[in-house]
Amino acid sequence: MKVHKLTATQKNKLIGIEYIPNCTYNPVQDDNGIWIITSEEVEQTTDEKFAWVKDLPQIEYVKPKF
């Protein structure tokens, strides 16, 4: 599954921000410690202030071990 890669600075800009009503971005780390958000969050972003998420590079998701 493809997800979108974030820098730590980009991650901090998204935490707690609603991208659709009653739903916030939730950047998480994959098994390699890389911050990611999902394609659903990117595709449903309409706020121009966060349009930069549309340009985030895609990577393959690696599920963290737990």
Partner 1 sequence: MFGNYIGASNPRFFGGLDADAAAFIAVAGITDATQKTAIDNLYKDLKGQGANNSSYDFYTRLTAFWLFVGGTSTSCSFNGKTPSSGNTYNLTYSGAAPTVNANGIKFNGINGYADTKVPQNLISNSANGLSVYFRENVANNEIQIGYLDTSTYKATEIGMGYTSGANTKFFGGNKYDENFGATNYQSVGINGLIRLNRTTSNNYKVYRNGSQTESFNYLSYNNTDTSTLVIGGVKKSSGGVQAFSIKTFCYADIMTSNSLSAAEELVYYNCIQAFQTALSRNV
**Sites of contact with partner 1 (CB under 8 A):** 1, 3, 20-28, 36-38, 40-41, 44, 61, 63-64, 66
Residues 2, 59 contacting (CB under 8 angstroms): yes
Give whichever of 16 and 48 is closer to partner 1, judged by the CB atom.
16
For residue 61, the SS3 value is coil
Rounded to the nearest whole angstrom, what is the least distance from the CB of residue 3 to partner 1 in the complex? 7
Running DSSP on this structure, what letter comes out for residue 58?
A: E
Phi first, then psi, for residue 57 (nearest 5°) are: -70, 145
Smallest separation, CB 33 to partner 1 (Å): 13
